[in-house]
Amino acid sequence: EAQVTQNPRYLITVTGKKLTVTCSQNMNHEYMSWYRQDPGLGLRQIYYSMNVEVTDKGDVPEGYKVSRKEKRNFPLILESPSPNQTSLYFCASSSSLGANVLTFGAGSRLTVL
């Protein structure tokens, strides 16, 4: 089944404790992206990657890092999480061809205390 898999789905952590949210896709998509969803703000893009070793900032990149060493994986790294990073995070991918249709993961709900 074609899908985007994120882990963990739920995480409660404390301020300053580094964490990584993994994202993997099995569709051979070139493009991958991370979004955060907050009430009343919709989805805001954090980082995106057009292909292996090519990453760029989205609208809200502060406090996050990403890497794209392999085509299928695009982890999101929070080096020193803060409470304002409490949110619902989505990874998405799409092909470089066609209508830019994104396939989303199921989401990772992160709480930073």
Partner 1 sequence: GEDVEQSLFLSVREGDSSVINCTYTDSSSTYLYWYKQEPGAGLQLLTYIFSNMDMKQDQRLTVLLNKKDKHLSLRIADTQTGDSAIYFCAESIGGTGTASKLTFGTGTRLQVTL
Contacts with partner 1, residue ranges (CB under 8 A) = 4, 30-31, 33, 35, 40-45, 48, 50, 56, 58, 90, 92, 94, 96-107
Contact of 33 with 52, CB cutoff 8 Å: no
Shortest distance in whole angstroms from residue 41 CB to partner 1? 6
Nearer of residues 12 and 14 to partner 1, judged by Cβ: 12
Query: Which residue number, 22 or 103, has a Cβ lying nearer to partner 1?
Result: 103
Q: In what order do the strands lie in the sheet with 65-66?
A: 4-7, 19-25, 76-78, 65-66
Question: Is the Cβ of residue 6 or residue 85 nearer to partner 1 in the bound state?
Answer: 6
User: Shortest distance, CB of residue 44 to partner 1, whole angstroms?
Assistant: 8
Q: Count of CB atoms within 10 A of residue 3's CB?
A: 13
Sequence-distant (≥ 6) Cβ neighbours of residue 62 within 8 angstroms: none
